Amino acid sequence: MTERHDIFDLAVIGGGINGVAIARDAAGRGLSAHLSEMNDLASATSSGSTKLIHGGLRYLEHYEFRLVRESLEEREIVWRLAPHLVEPLRFVLPHHRGLRPAWMLRLGLFLYDHLGARRLLPPTAVVDLARDPIGAPLAPGLFRRGFEYSDCRVDDSRLVVTTARDAARLGATIAPRTKVVAAERDADVWTLRLARPDGSSLPPIRARVVVDTAGPWVDGVAKSVLGLAVGADARVRLVQGSHLVTRRLWSHDRAFIFQNADGRVVFAIPWLDDFTLIGTTDHDFSGDPARPVASEEEIAYLLAATNRVLAVPLARADVVWTYSGVRPLWDDGASAAQAATRDYVLRLDAPDGRAPGLAVYGGKLTTHRRLAETVLARLATLLPVRRGRAPGWTASAPLPGGDFPVDGRAALEAEIRAERPWLPADLARRLVATWGTETRDLLGDARTLDDLGRGFGAGLHEREVERMRTEEWATTAEDVLWRRTRLGLRMTESEIAGLEAWMIRG
C-alpha cells in the first residue's frame, strides 16, 4: 500500500478528513504524497462530529453565505461519491412561538433550497405537527406546524478511512501512528523527523511541500514544529461539541432540529437503526483535545433541551453512550462559541529560496473535498507537474465501494442476500453500509457464516477484521469498534476483550 520515495512532492500532517482528502486529490493528480497521523485515522475531530453532510442552516444567521452555498453544493457530490456511507435525511424544524419567527424560518429555508445546486434532495415542505404522525414524538399541543428540509447523514470516521484507502490505492503513503516531532527546512526541501507513539524514532522523510492539517493541534504544529510564518492573527479556537446516544425514540425516519431559548439548536437523529443521536453543545475547550469527555453539565443540557419538546421525557439512565469532538475553528473573535465561523482559512509560508509550508485552519466535514481542491490550487505553482488526473477529478470519482446509484443501497442489499441466502438481513445491511459494492469481495467464496471465521459478536467476523487490519491500518479493538464500525455500541465487555486478545495475538 506504500511506495518508497526519496523526496515526496507533498507531506501532509494530520489524518482527519481534510488531510486524507488532500492526500487523495494529490495522489490522483500523479503527485507523490505522504500522510502522517500521530494516532489512528479519524481519532480526533473527524470521529466526533454530529454525523452530517449538511449546508449548515444555522450559519445563515451569521451571514456565512459563501460557506453555506459551498456546503449545499457539496452535499449531493459527496452523497454520489459514497452512497454506502452517506444517505439523505429529512429534518423537521418545529416552529416555536417566541423564538425565531415563522417568516425568518421560511426565508432561511428558501435560501437553503436555492443557494446550492440541489438536484436530488427534495425541497422544503410545511408539516402539520398536530395531525401528521411525524409529530407524534413531540409533546401534545406544543407545536402546530413545522418545516421539513433535506440534508444528509454520514458515517464520519468511515468516510475518513475509505478516503485514505483510495489515496493509498492511488499511490499515497498513509502512515498512522506516526508523529512529526521535528522539521528542518532547507532551500528546496523539508526533512521531517518521525516517531512512533512510544517515542522511538522512525526513518525521516523529505518533501518539497508540507501541509499542516493537524486539526486541534494545527497552531502548535505550524508554529512550534514547522516554524511557519502564518501571521500574528493566526489562532485556533477550540470548541467542544458533545453528543449523547439513547435507544431509538420514535419509529419514523425523520430527524428533528430543536430551537433553544439561548439561540442554539439541538439535533435529534435516528442512528444505526436502534439508536437516537442527540447533539451538540458548543463551548470553548481547554485541555488535551485527544480525549474530550462529555461533562455531566453538557449531558444535562442536552437532556433538558430534548425534554422540553418530547412527549416522553428522557432520564440520565436512558443515555447509553456519550462522545465529544473538539472543533479547531479559526478564531475570528466571535464572542460566543456557536457564532465562531466554521469556514476554513489557509495560511501559506513560501519565502523565496525556502521550501513552502501551508497551514489549514478550520473547515468542516461537509466541505473536505472542496477544501482539498482549494489547497492544491493554492500550491499549484509550488508543486511539480505530474501525469495524472485534471483538477476537479474528485467530484466524479466514487470512493471504494461507492460505485452504485445514490438510491441503490437497498437494491444492493437485496442482490447480495439473493446471492447468499444464508446471510442475515441485518448483517447484509451493515456490510453494505460499511463496504458498499466491496461487500461481495469481502464475502468472497463464503457459503456459510462459519466461512467468515470466528464471530466476535454483533455480526463481526474474523474475515472482516482481518481486512480492516491489512487494508485499513486497524491495530486495536478500539480502531475496529469505534472508527471502522460502531459495533462498540452493541458488543459486551467480554466480546470486546475477546477481539482485543485476538488482535494482539496477530
Which three cell numbers mark 187?
Answer: 532551500
Domain end among 293, 312, 339: 339
C-alpha cell at 380: 499549484
- pLDDT tens digits in sequence order for the chain, 506 residues long: 445 579 999 999 999 999 999 999 999 999 999 999 999 999 999 999 999 999 988 888 878 889 899 999 999 999 999 999 999 999 999 998 877 888 888 888 998 998 888 899 999 999 999 999 999 999 999 999 999 999 999 999 999 999 999 999 999 999 999 999 999 999 899 999 999 999 999 999 999 999 999 999 999 999 999 999 999 999 999 999 999 999 999 999 999 999 988 889 999 999 999 999 999 999 999 989 998 999 999 999 999 999 999 999 999 999 999 999 999 999 988 767 777 788 899 999 998 889 999 999 999 999 999 999 999 999 999 999 999 999 999 999 999 999 999 999 999 999 999 999 999 999 999 999 999 999 999 999 999 999 999 999 999 999 999 999 999 999 999 999 999 999 999 999 999 999 999 999 87
**d(C-alpha 289, C-alpha 287), whole Å:** 6
Please report whether residue 142 resides in a domain. yes
Same domain, 249 and 182: no
Q: Residue 271: helix, strand or coil by DSSP? A: strand
Relative to beta strand 125-128, strand 173-176 is unpaired
Q: Crossing angle, helix 65-81 and helix 368-378, to 10 degrees?
A: 110
Q: How far apart are CA 123 and CA 262, in angstroms?
A: 28
Q: What size, in residues, is the chain?
A: 506
pLDDT of residue 342: 82
Note whether 295 and 302 are within 8 A (CB). no
Which residues span the domain enclosing 474? 409-505
CA-CA distance, 127 to 144, in Å (whole number)? 9
Of the candidates 2, 26, 30, the one whose C-alpha atom is nearest the C-alpha of residue 12 is 26
Return the pLDDT at 2: 43
Residue 347: name the closest of 321, 370, 374 by CA.
374
Same domain, 423 and 499: yes
pLDDT, averaged across the chain? 95
Residues 472 and 494 in one domain: yes
How many domains are contained in the chain? 3
> What is the Cα–Cα distance from 384 to 32, expressed in whole angstroms?
10
Q: Which three cell numbers stand for residue 398?
A: 466514487
Amino acid in the structure at residue 160: V
Q: Both 149 and 279 in a single domain? A: yes
Q: Are residues 102 and 149 in the same domain?
A: yes
Residue 363 lies in a domain: yes
- Claim to verify: residue 286 and residue 330 sit in the same structural domain: yes
Name every residue whose Cβ is closer than 8 Å to that of residue 216 and which is 6 or more positions away in sequence: 44, 45, 236, 238, 289, 326, 328
Q: What is the DSSP letter of 221?
A: I
H or E element that contains 275: strand 275-279
Q: Which of 118, 134, 138, 114 is nearest to 126 (CA)?
A: 134
pLDDT for position 116: 82
pLDDT at position 256 = 98
Same domain, 319 and 369: no
Q: Which residues pair with 328 in a beta bridge?
A: 238
User: 182 in a domain, yes or no?
Assistant: yes
The three cell numbers of residue 74 are: 457539496
Do 241 and 335 fall within a single domain?
yes
Whether 71 is in a domain gets the answer: no
Q: How far apart are CA 133 and CA 111, in angstroms?
A: 27
Both 199 and 331 in a single domain? no
192 three-class SS: strand
pLDDT digits (tens, 9 = 90+) for 184-237: 999 899 999 999 999 999 999 999 999 999 999 999 999 999 999 999 999 999
List the CATH number of the domain containing 261.
3.30.9.10
**CATH value at residue 213:** 3.50.50.60
For residues 359 and 311, state if they share a domain. no
Exposed/middle/buried for 2, CB within 10 Å: 0-12, 13-18, 19+?
Answer: exposed
Does residue 320 share a domain with residue 290? yes
Helical residues (DSSP H) of 116-184, grouped into ranges: 156-169
Q: Is 402 within the bounds of a domain?
A: no
Judge contact between 236 and 230, C-beta under 8 A.
Answer: no
Amino acid of residue 424: P
Residue 400 within any structural domain of the chain: no
Same domain, 28 and 96: no
Instruction: For residue 419, give the CATH number of its domain.
Output: 1.10.8.870
Using the CB atoms, write b or e for 375-386: b if 16+ within 10 Å. Answer: bbeebeebbeee
Give domain status of residue 67, yes or no: no
Q: Give the distance from CA 430 to its chain's centroid.
A: 18
pLDDT of residue 63: 80
Is 403 part of a structural domain of the chain? no
